[in-house]
Amino acid sequence: MHEKGGFILHLHFLEHFYILGNMKIKNAVEALSALAQESRLSIFRLLVQAGKEGVAAGVIGEQLGIPAATLSFHLKELARAKLVKSKTEGRYVIYSASFTEMDKLIAYLTENCCAGDAAQCAPRKTC
């Protein structure tokens, strides 16, 4: 009986691992899909450059020449992928990059890079 219970527990562990592994891939695909569009990539890069303070939606539109309705759509897609956060300050909506999610994506993409010798593929430029 113990052996059978252990077998079931083992199968449950494998199922749990499979689901978690796919969720990691699913999150990476969502983030990369959100960034795989010129305007959204430009928005994200602008927000990364702005830092934690973020940028008002109107300023993003002005700096990148994106109409308000189009900008709203792109920001929604980036937020759905958890790459940007928003906060309201008075009449303004301030958007900022989610550096935690960006770091998770970079970590996922570089996991086990260069056969475990991270020094080979480490970024050359730091902030």
Higher pLDDT pick, 10 / 84: 84
Spatial contact of 82 and 98, defined as CB atoms under 8 Å apart = yes
- Residue range 39-53, pLDDT digits in tens: 999 999 999 999 999
Confidence at residue 102, expressed as pLDDT on a 0 to 100 scale: 94
What's the CATH number where 44 sits?
1.10.10.10
Residue 115 covered by a domain: no
Residue 93 covered by a domain: yes
Higher pLDDT pick, 54 / 22: 54
Residue 110 covered by a domain: no
Rounded to a whole number, what is the distance in angstroms from the first to the last CA of the chain?
58
- Residue range 14-28, pLDDT digits in tens: 454 444 455 588 999
Q: What is the pTM of this model?
A: 0.76
Residue 117 covered by a domain: no
